[in-house]
């Protein structure tokens, strides 16, 4: 299992600790005043301002967490969002953040070469990746082998400057979409 993944920033670190505490190896803070934000979490914390000077380019970052990858599975009782042919980490992070805003927490990434734990995905999702289930599949058929009867929303990359959205027979907040 890969152990050198980084969640950069306070919100991403707190979401990691809240949702996947056992995967967190350590938290690095810039100064002792950041320790109050970690109150209640029994995690290894290192105060290391030199780490931030040498490794973090942004001045407004004071907390970084190192974590191991972990396995996720889709909840069979909820709507799944299927994302096809997406290879832009920034777009994935944005979609994950938006999915959480709409209450969708089960994401299937189909035919994508994105490293779901890359720093860019974590940063652009503003930590939303730690609040949902995200599973990669080679094809829709592979997805359907495991998930036959789920209601789905499909987001497809049409090789243009936009993504298309398809949903059918889904009741969301008493409205059919």
Whether residues 20 and 91 share a domain: the answer is no
Residue 165 counted as domain residue: yes
Whether residues 19 and 55 share a domain: the answer is yes
Whether residues 26 and 100 share a domain: the answer is no
Whether residues 87 and 28 share a domain: the answer is no
Whether residues 89 and 165 share a domain: the answer is yes
Whether residues 109 and 28 share a domain: the answer is no
Whether residues 92 and 127 share a domain: the answer is yes
| pLDDT tens, residue by residue, 105-146 | 999 999 999 999 999 999 999 999 999 999 999 999 999 999
Whether residues 53 and 30 share a domain: the answer is yes
Model confidence at 171: pLDDT above 50: no
What DSSP line would sit under 101-124, residue for residue? HTT--EEEEES----TT-HHHHHH
Residue 151 counted as domain residue: yes
Phi, psi dihedrals of residue 12, rounded to the nearest 5°: -60, -45
| pLDDT tens, residue by residue, 67-95 | 999 999 999 989 899 998 888 999 999 99
Whether residues 46 and 13 share a domain: the answer is yes
Whole-Å CA distances, 85 to 130, 148, 157: 22, 21, 6
Whether residues 128 and 155 share a domain: the answer is yes
| Domain with 11 in it | 5-67
For the chain, give the mean pLDDT.
87
Q: How many domains does the chain have?
A: 2
Rounded CA-CA distance 153/151 in Å is 7
Rounded CA-CA distance 107/125 in Å is 13
Confidence of residue 169 (pLDDT cuts 50, 70, 90): very low
Whether residues 10 and 56 share a domain: the answer is yes
Residue 75 counted as domain residue: no
Find the CATH number of the domain harbouring 90. 3.40.1280.10
Residue 58 counted as domain residue: yes
Whether residues 152 and 109 share a domain: the answer is yes
């Amino acid at each position: 299992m890969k152990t050198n993944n980084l969640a950069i920033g306070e919100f991403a670190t707190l979401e990691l600790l809240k949702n996947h505490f056992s995967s967190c190896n350590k938290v690095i803070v810039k100064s002792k005043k950041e320790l109050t934000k970690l109150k209640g979490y029994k995690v290894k914390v290192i105060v290391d301002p030199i780490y931030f000077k040498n490794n973090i380019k942004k001045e407004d970052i004071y907390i970084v967490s190192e974590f191991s990858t972990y396995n996720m599975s889709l909840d069979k009782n909820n709507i799944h969002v299927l994302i096809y042919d997406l290879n832009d980490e920034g777009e994935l992070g944005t979609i994950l953040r938006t999915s959480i805003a709409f209450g969708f927490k089960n994401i299937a990434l189909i035919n994508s070469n994105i490293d779901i734990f890359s720093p860019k995905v974590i940063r652009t999702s503003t930590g939303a990746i730690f609040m949902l289930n995200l599973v990669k599949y080679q094809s829709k058929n592979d997805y359907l082998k495991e998930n036959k009867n789920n209601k789905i929303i499909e987001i497809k990359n049409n090789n243009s400057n936009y993504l298309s959205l398809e949903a059918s027979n889904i009741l969301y907040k008493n409205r059919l979409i």
